Structure 1
Amino acid sequence: MVSQTSETSQTDIKVTFRGKTPVINLPVRFTVSKAESFRLTCQELFSQENTTGKIILNFSNTNFIDSCGIGSLVTNLKKAKEKDTDFILCDVNSQVMSVFTLTGLDKVLTIEKSIQPEVKNNRKSDENQLPITHPSIKSWVKRLIDIVGALVGLFITFILSIPIVIAIKFDSPGPIFFAQTRCGWMGKRFRMWKFRSMCQNAEELKSKIKNQAQGAIFKNENDPRITKVGKFLRRKSLDELPQFWNVLKGDMSLVGTRPPTPDEVERYEVPQWQRLDVKPGMTGEWQVNGRSQVKNFEDIIRLDLKYQENWSLIYDIKLIIKTVVILFKKSSGAY
């Protein structure tokens, strides 16, 4: 039985208590401002000596969650594990549950079995209930452009793949393609494909390479792991041609934000998760404003949010044209 109601000193998130167990009452719209309040609320509860080893998250009023809401849950779940505290989610409706299923969080969060049974059985229903975190997500015209562009791109990739494959094979031992896990819309993980531009054991050598970038990204202008052919492929962005397959599948878009790696996302502060409110793109603001020359993570965040604010179909087309122009320049800013 609830014995006490309070608000934490730093936030407007209401906390009630069942005996000594805190119950955090989540807002109707669990977005960036509320997500930060939720993080601070959990931080305050973790610091209290009388907090029990369990915190209940009440989702009964929540019908919308975006990337920042997901990010704050992930961040606090890690902190809870460090503090040996259980997070228990209750009264999660089908709309929110569909997001947890999309991102795989349904497998790592402890959710009380009060969810509607159709959530597990009707995948089409889940897809229809996914939140519209940005207008571009539900634009059928943007998706049509992606499909047409991906098909044209795959045709070009097929033609160019013959000399590229031969060059990669003669240059260094290893596979033709390189697959890496990236985070897409809402943090959903997918395998992004490229033509291999590095030596075969590049991932193992990464820790030995100096990071010249600032923040949650990795850049090195003279990365010794990049092969001779790889340098040419990267300069002309030919290594990214297989990503047209990711666009066709719907994991990516032709234009969007930069697709981050999971280890980058793990270092995000809550507001930085906003960049995952749209699909990642093969090109975008980061591509036409310096590409690899952008070495500060805050600048990448700024460019990604600029894309979200200015997005329109015309804006996408302009960015595609700018990208093509840049690729034909001698120095395109990529390495």
Structure 2
Amino acid sequence: FPKDQQLVAAQAAILLLPDENRDALRTLLLFLRDVVACVDENQMTPTNIAVCLAPSLFHLNALKRDANAARSSHRKYSLGRPDQRDLSENLAATQGLANMVSEALRLFQFPEFWPGQGLSASGPGEDSLCGEGGGPASPAPSGGEEEQEERRSRLELSTQQLLKEARERSRGWESHSAPDQVELAFKKMDDGCPLWLWRGSVEVDAPQKELLHRLQREQGLWDGTLRQAAVIQTVSKDSEVYRCLLQGQSHGLGSRLPQEHLLLRTWQSDPSLGPLYLSSVSTEHPEVPVEGVRAQVHSCLYLLEPAGARKTRLTHLCRTDTRGRSQEWHSKVSGHLLASKLLAIRDSFRPDHRETKI
């Protein structure tokens, strides 16, 4: 790229990274910038740092996969002379990393040309791992009572399927390591969405109805720092549109936009009619503008079963795309977050409970 376009090109490329990769890169570059600030003592200019780190950071000089390239590489290194292409790649990587270190503060801003850069990064064009139609219950376009009823019917079907999954102990489920007293497992679904369905169970020292009431009124509390929560619309005596907004993280390396959950929820609160549960999926509502990053909840179920006097066995099934995260992140982290959430719910009923952030 020409020099006057290198910064915006790097800014645009960084926007394509998953959140966790972007955070790691920002941490590294800001650290290297601090190192450069002590250049009088350590002689480490941006170029000197780039000479040391660019080959590792950009994986330069990797052997080619095809046989011809492998033979060429072997011949080249046996002669002890790198070819011109390798030299050019090394020079470009060194100059690129040196520039990234120098521009570390501006590198993670929106490029000036970015359309709607004043808007939140959560509109229709935002990437979702499952895409439109992925998962058991994707949100339909907002509309009138007919569409709302159709959405509620789909949620009911999804809930019945999740209730079966909650009781199924083997078919397709794989156990996963978890903290003591939490049973954790995941299931790879066959609907084209790469996200796993997670299931966790824990015993809570609380009656079923009391636990259900707390889940209804504080559903977003255990997902992070709750900023706002409200019932947007009462659809029927046992269903509603519910919205919660989680506070974005602020720290020395920048800030993250708040995360929003807009859910269509239904519940069963009468033990004589069957097991108690709270089930929800993402939805849309014409009176609720997007604020922050709107998560895509494909399925979320809390199943409450009696486990003795004033005790409840709480089973939680969840499949949520928080947006901006890679599939690998979801596979490695989602289960631990679900287990932490269950423990936080359990501990909230203990007399010595103090509210802590997950």
Same fold by TM-score, threshold 0.5 exceeded? no
Instruction: State the TM bucket, normalised to the shorter chain.
Output: under 0.3
Task: Normalising by structure 1, report the TM-score.
Answer: 0.26
| Larger-gyration structure (1/2) | 2
Larger RCO: 1 or 2 (CA < 8 Å, sep 6+) = 2
Q: Which protein is richer in strand relative to its size? A: 2
When the two structures are superposed, what TM-score results if normalisation uses the length of structure 2? 0.25
